[in-house]
Structure 1
């Protein structure tokens, strides 16, 4: 019973193993970035950037169909362009960066859907919007593994600078000129991981595996290192159980992974030891006493 429920699907079916490896790669690389996005109060920026890559990926699809290299290059180009353009608009106009990103987010989503719809079928549109985590081939798995490796190496090398720039950017600017390069490298990693997530989970769900585990981890700890470890753990658990529920109940795999992360998030909202509802309720009573 235990074998058939929890182990058998991944032993017997290669597509389940591939999906698990791909989802775990996204969780391991994306969750730490989500932690820093949460701490930098840029959570919605991640969502906006996830949609910003859609027109580039759609143009790649328009040129070469469902081609991994074409859609990846297009998505990267669009993501970097929107990130730089949003920052430039915030500097040159009265709009703040979040407002300019919101504008790009809406335009990008609409434009990407129109491009894909003009060339392909509803199946292709669903593939772009919601991904196909159960149909990952060798090339896509290699891409996800490469992105995860690059992300972890860069985070390991620049962890102190990124943490300092997140917690006290003024101090980092006063002692070195690493603030702006650190910000650019961080945004580049976010775009890179969103493009990888796009191939597995689609543009609408790619940011979920990055942000939901990070938001949950924030409710369990205020320490960056612990938050990162907790977020990765939640991402891995959500990937595993999301795929299991998808297999046993014939549900879409990508949305189930995000829903599992959502379940953990609601549990964290109630029971989290660093800001959950119960924790705050008892803390308030203690102060009243």
Structure 2
């Protein structure tokens, strides 16, 4: 059975490139998802994945399917939405998620409108859902560079990111400027990785590989280091199984990976050793 699963990766180069891209993305997306979860900002990743679309669309209109132009445009658009949401929240006393909701819906509509000015339906679907099986060497280098940079920044600023994630208010009281810097840098990393993922998974699917393994990992452990490792491993496992499933069942690769991650999430919600429904039910029975 295991040999049957890896046959496609052994025989076809484009399957190996797709797998490497997903494994590299899992290394950086899953830890960022864990920190978003700890900050109670799980849906912010989804909002930002929509927010990058106008910038991607502008890059597409100016340079066609240029990875550099679309990536740079998406990063600028996502960062503008992230910073604008924080500013609106501070100026109006609205919750930051409310500001995100208002901005990302408009960004999504604007992005689809801009793409439709020049594209056909195939191009629009490529931007929204990616083209994982068409990953080339340039895309792999782009994804690898962003994943490596993300891991390096997390390693260097790990203590600050963790502290700001667990107790942002206390951090702000003692060092407001440093807290703002850490928050801004973290959001920039999130946007950067969503931009890296849009080429292979699309703007709508990338957030699935970011948040689903992170939430699933939270169901199995309370220790942050272990949680980060489990999230990465679950993301990689979902990538391997999802790609194999897409190949043998002839279904889109990106949705197959996210559906696999969803199945892992549901299993973890039911049977996770820390947050699982059945595990908690047993604990309550034994305690009574």
TM-score, normalised via structure 1 length: 0.96
Offset from partner CA, 1:26-50 (integer Å, 9 cap, x none): 1111100000000110001111011
What pairs up with 1:1-289 in 2 under 5 angstroms?
A: 2-3=2-3, 5-173=4-172, 176=175, 178-287=178-287, 289=288
Find the aligned partners of 1:222 and 1:252 in 2 and give their Cα distance: 34
Deviation at 1:175, TM superposition (A): 5.3
Bigger drift between 172-181 and 34-43 goes to 172-181
Equivalent pairs counted in the alignment come to 287
Q: 1:104 to 1:174 in 2, by over 3 A?
A: closer
Cα distance, 1:94 vs structure 2? 4.2
Measured after TM superposition, the shift of residue 96 of structure 1 is 2.1
Q: Distance in 1 between matches of 2:2 and 2:225?
A: 34
Q: 1:2 to 1:227 in 2, by over 3 A?
A: closer
Q: Is contact 1:161-1:178 (8 Å) kept? A: no
The separation in 2 between residues aligned to 1:88 and 1:173, in whole angstroms, is 15
Helix, strand or coil at the partner of 1:267: helix
Q: CA RMSD in A?
A: 1.2
Alpha-carbon distance between aligned partners in 2 of 1:35 and 1:261, rounded to the nearest angstrom: 15
Match of 1:178, SS state, is: helix
Q: Secondary structure at the match of 1:212?
A: helix
Distance in 1 of aligned mates of 2:2 and 2:85: 50
Q: CA deviation at 1:95?
A: 2.6
Q: Distance in 2 between matches of 1:172 and 1:30?
A: 25
- 1: CA distance, partners of 2:166 / 2:113: 40
Name the SS of the counterpart of 1:120 in structure 2: coil
Q: CA deviation at 1:66?
A: 1.1
CA distance in 1, matches of 2:260, 2:119: 31
When residues 232 and 2 of structure 1 are mapped into structure 2, their CA distance, relative to the original with a 3 A threshold, is closer
Provide, for residues 65-107 of structure 1, a one-character-per-residue CA deviation record: whole Å limited to 9, x for no partner.
Answer: 1110110010011011111111111112243211110011111
Q: Deviations over 1:167-214 (max 9, x none)?
A: 123443455553221111111110000000111111111111000000
8 A Cα contact 2:221 2:273, kept in partner: yes
Query: Are the structure 2 counterparts of residues 2 and 174 from structure 1 closer, same or farther at C-alpha, using a change threshold of 3 Å?
Result: closer
Unaligned 5+ runs, structure 1: none
